[in-house]
Amino acid sequence: MGTPSVLLPARGNMARPCTIPRALYLLALAVSEAPALGAQASNASVLVAVGYGVDTVGAPNHEIFTLWRIYLSSRSDSTRAAGFWSRVERERWPLFDLLSGYVYQGSPNRFTVVHLAPAVGLDSTYLIRTLVTRVSDSGQTVRPLALYRVYATREGGRWVLGNALARVTRAWRHERIGRITFVFPPTHMLDRVRAERSSEFVDSLARAFALSPAPAIEYYFTDDLAETLAAAGLEFFPLGPDTAGGRANAFDHLVFVGSSTSGENYRHELAHIVLQPLVAQGKTAPLVMEGLMTWAGGSAGLDFKELMPGLQHYLDVHRDLTLEGILTDPPMREGTVDAGYDGLAVLCKMVYDAGGVAAIRSLASAGLEPRVVVNTAARLLHVPEAQLDARWRDQIAALSH
């Protein structure tokens, strides 16, 4: 079984959808109950500290803190870790820990619980806020990676963990249009025209690629991506200077968008949900996946055609840039121009024009090695590999006018 697509940080400081490790995938599928807390052994490589003024001694704080510490220490064991999480949420979201791709980035991360107290307005529920930092080998430099929240609640007579999303957005408005349920703050007015266009896009994209109709999608949006992610529980994560954008959790059919101009119609993330079956086998190079979504749904608030003039200008300045070079060492985004996303979007269009859906499937299953991806693209386009970059640049020039 392949690995699904969720939120992980990519190059630089921007979070992008990417494939997840198989360990997390297994974690999402496990449903067994955990043994008694006292019988669990901690993973010594996971460092869990307690911030100033946090009570981990009194009842039920001690039990909840122990639950949280053991969960963090047990995540590499999918069977044990799943048992600490709410069964209700495991049934709703297969990859139940919705922030896993952001905050669990491996050693040497330190988790510091900075808040553990009853959750205001929620019965029998406690709020846990945790700071994730990376510490240098010398111990002199501490870099914050994330500040996030989870909850502990009573279920089946015991404490279990739960996500922030449904709790923080419980007073938000919900509007279902087609297969999409739009969820947004009560102060926001839904642009129904844009929302209906998104619904139509989801259906038409599935038909265009001969896929089954898209699943029911939960689409959370505000004017600012940082605000939307905070509603999911991610109170801090390094997003870079531009807080307009979106993220998709294709495995759980969730979309998170922050945009004041196209909040209801951010198609790139919807494309991740609809086209997930094409890239779900763990054989798709990340930029091929993002290129496919950019061709289908645009990027940075612009549609595919609108991205082309900026990409053409970028290539005029970077005349030595090649497809293999982009796949090997993707350039950083400059404003709305992302040579990786936009450039691979053009390649996907070329491949589709040459061979339709079957050709796209071949490109998507070419694997992760840049040389193999380039070779596959040249074969599908029936051109010598040495001529592929020139053909690609010619296509961009044509599309930019």
Q: Where are the domains of the chain?
A: 31-163, 164-281, 283-401
Please state which CATH number belongs to domain 164-281. Answer: 3.40.30.160
21: confidence class by pLDDT, cuts 50, 70, 90: very low
Helix and strand totals (H; E) in the chain:
15, 13
Centroid of chain to Cα 148? 15
Token readout for 134 is 């990376």
Written as one letter, the residue type at 20 is I
Strand pairing partners for 281?
none
What pLDDT, in 10s, does the model give residues 293-319?
999 999 988 999 999 999 999 999 999
Written as one letter, the residue type at 34 is A
Largest CA distance in the chain: 71
Could you say which DSSP state residue 86 is in? -
Q: What residue spans of 30-142 are helical by DSSP H?
A: 61-74, 78-82, 87-92, 100-103
Please state which CATH number belongs to domain 31-163. Answer: 3.10.450
Pairwise CA distance, residues 237 & 219, whole Å? 20
* 3-state DSSP assignment of residue 217: strand
- The H or E element spanning position 225 is helix 225-231
Q: What are phi and psi of 261, to 5 degrees?
A: -110, -25
Indicate if the pLDDT at residue 6 is higher than 80: no
9: confidence class by pLDDT, cuts 50, 70, 90: very low
Is 78:26 a contact under the CB 8 Å cutoff? yes
Q: How far is CA 178 from CA 82, 129, 196, in A?
A: 32, 36, 8
N-terminal to C-terminal alpha carbon distance within the chain = 43
Pairwise CA distance, residues 373 & 283, whole Å? 11
Is 345:308 a contact under the CB 8 Å cutoff? no
What pLDDT, in 10s, does the model give residues 50-95?
999 999 999 999 999 999 999 998 887 767 788 999 999 999 999 9
pTM given for the model = 0.86
